Every structure is written in structure tokens, then in C-alpha cells.
Amino acid sequence: MFSSRTPNDLSLNAFARAVEKAGSEPLLDLTLSNPTQCGFDYPAGLLQPLSRPEALVYEPHSLGHPAGREAVARYLASRGQTVDPQRILLTASTSEAYSYLFKLLGDPGDSFLVPTPGYPLLDHLVHLEGVELVPYPLQMKADWPVDREKIRHSVGLKTKGIVVVDPHNPTGCFLSAEDRLWLFGFCKERSLAYISDEVFSEYAYEGPRSDFLPGREILSFRLGGLSKSLGLPQLKLSWMAWDGPRELLEECRERLELIADTYLSVNTPVQLALDELFRFAPVFQRQLMDRVLTNRAFLAQSFQSDAGVKIWPAQGGWYALLELPGWGLGDTDVAVGLLEEKRVLVQPGAFFDFPSGCFLVLSLLPLAKVFQEGALRIHDYLKKKN
């Protein structure tokens, strides 16, 4: 009766069952990644621009309202990216941008290379579009470089593109300049599209990263959105910017316009309000970076003398990755134990398909007092169990 694009087994996994059984007693939630629930300061009048009278008039634009696309281009320019507004598409979310790209580039049965470990949502997005996910591994060493040989052996005749997440989620590492250049060359050699998910790119720990320059030899797409850039996921607006060989650009635009025109999902008020909303970006991003770096420093200090726990270095994003080398338990067992014994909620590495080892993923967004109490409980639990 139902499509194979959705899973046959929709039952809860062991960790989800444990969360469901946790009851009503308060938890210290160190998985929280919704900025609007993390105590950040949002100005009272921030959403007032959504009530502009012009928004009462519906004028659909397939690629997005010109005023909104121009606002995104100005925001990207403030971050060192020169993008023609004519090569910007507005979507309701980064997930929707992915779905458009899989429709644009792939037929049923075609495949896309996706990094592993990685964010599990990508698995669902690929399968819902009727295309295939081919994982390419990141090497488990400093900066998580791509495994070039594995990529070479993973590409087939039906491979249409490669996805990079920069900085990566959940490791927090940016692609090295060497890996990026190699991937550009590989995409050119194999006629692959390059899809760069940059939703966390504003949150580089040591300041803005240099912009990549693929040139026009490969078809490339860059994704971002308000959910991370402004901490406003409820406004449902993201963007896609593309570049590539001149002979492909116009056809690419026309095909994307057709796909987007089928849905017309982005609401008018948020598109018209973008210029004013982007003024909040520096304020919010400073708040978030202060929180992330404070919590990360506390985590490092808490485990600095604990030989049984490794905190992986990161360069950006808002997650921390803990490894428990040599542990006999799986990471789901550890996460369930923390939940049941310490009332602390963390994500097990199994959610992200780490190939081996025992990993825990922690959000660095919770209020400092919540995060610190959670970190101390984790330390106490691990010390007793090790």
C-alpha cells in the first residue's frame, strides 16, 4: 500500500523508548538545538517588519521575491561572498533546498555521495526523493579529512553529486583547503555537482573562514538559512546560491524555477522583511558564539584530567563530540544510562553512523548553568562506570 520511500519499520529505537519512559521529572537536555528555547535575547520588535502592508499583496515569484533575493545577496556580500541575486533561490528550509536539488539533478535510482558520520536527516531526504545515498567516510583523525580513495571507489555511472557539510555536523570541522580543492577537481573529472551545506558557517571559532572559489568549471550549490544564521527557525526561510559553467547556468535557473513554481512554499512577509531581519545577525551571532565557547571551555576543563574521555577538537558549529575510548558499552547504552541514572539527555553517536567507537554528541546551546550541571553529571556517571 505504501511507498518504499518511507521506512517499513517505524517503531521507536531503544533510545527513543527510554526517552518516552523518562516520565515528567525534569531532564537536563543537552540535545537542545532550537535557539528559540535556549534563553537568547531576541528584541521585542524583531518580528515587526513581518507586518508590512506590502505583505498583504500576494505576488508569487518562483525563485523568491526579488527584494528577498537581493537582501540575501547583500548579507552574503557582508560575509565576503559575491553572489548575483539572479542565482539565488529562496526556499522554506535547507531540507527543501536539498529536495529541489535531488529533483534537479537526479532520476530515480541515481545516487549522491553524502559524508559519514553525518546528520541523519540527509538519509531521509535522499530516500524520500527516490534517489540513493552513497556514504563516503571522513577519516577518524584530526580535522576529519575526507577519505579520497573511498570516494573514488564509491562513484558510479549514476552518481550525480557530492554533498559536503562545512563545517561538518556533528564533528564541527571545516574542510581543509587541500580537501576542498581535491573535491573540486574530482567533481570536474567525473561531471558531478558540488553541494555545500553551510548553515553553520557563521560559527567559526577563530573568525570568518576564507571563501572557497570553485570557479565556473563545476556546477556548485551553497545552502544557508535563517534557522542558524539568525536563530529563527520558525520564520522558515533558507537560500540556495549556484554557480557553474556558463552554458549550464540558464538551464539550471529555468529548471529550478519550474521546480520551485510547483510548490511556491516561501511566505511573502518574511521575504520582504529580510533586510531588517539581517540587521539582527551580528547581535545574535555574538550571543551564540559566547554561549558555545563558554560551554565548550567548561566541558574541556571538566574532563581535562580524565584519560577515559576524549573531547574531539572542533573549528565551528554548536556541538561537542565526546569519545569514550576502550569502553565495553555501546554509545546508545551509555546515553540510556545517563538518562535513567542522571536525568541527562545526550545524543548517542549511533544516530550519526560513526563507524566504530563509543561517541556522545552534546549541544552547546543550553544556558551555561544547565550545560554545566549536565556536564558534571556526565563526568560523575562516566567516572563511576569506567
Judge whether 102 and 221 are in contact, CB under 8 Å.
no
267 exposed, middle or buried (CB, 10 Å; 0-12, 13-18, 19+)? middle
Cα–Cα distance for residue pair 195/111, rounded to 1 Å = 13
Per DSSP, the residues of 301-329 read HHTTT-TT-EE---SBSSEEEEE-TT-SS
Instruction: Give the pLDDT score at 17.
Output: 85
Instruction: Give the pLDDT score at 26.
Output: 85
Instruction: Give the pLDDT score at 121.
Output: 87
Instruction: Give the pLDDT score at 212.
Output: 64
First to last CA, the chain: 49
Question: Domains plus CATH for the chain?
Answer: 14-41+281-385 (3.90.1150.10), 48-278 (3.40.640.10)
Cell representation of residue 250: 540558464
Interior CA angle at 190 toward 184 and 193, to 5°?
Answer: 60
Judge whether 26 and 345 are in contact, CB under 8 Å.
no
Cα–Cα distance for residue pair 353/348, rounded to 1 Å = 10
Give pTM, 2 decimals: 0.95
Q: Give pLDDT tens digits along the chain (386 positions).
A: 888 888 888 888 888 888 888 776 789 999 999 999 999 999 999 999 999 999 999 999 999 999 999 999 999 999 989 999 999 999 999 999 999 999 999 999 999 999 999 988 889 999 999 999 999 999 999 899 999 999 999 999 999 999 999 999 999 999 999 999 999 999 999 999 999 999 999 999 998 876 666 668 899 999 999 999 999 999 999 999 999 999 999 999 999 999 999 999 999 999 999 999 999 999 999 999 999 999 999 999 999 877 689 999 999 999 999 999 878 778 999 999 999 999 999 999 999 999 888 999 999 999 999 999 999 999 999 888 77
Cα–Cα distance for residue pair 44/48, rounded to 1 Å = 9
- State whether residue 314 is helix, strand or coil: coil
* Number of neighbours of residue 359 by Cβ within 10 angstroms: 25
Residue found under cell 580524565: 306
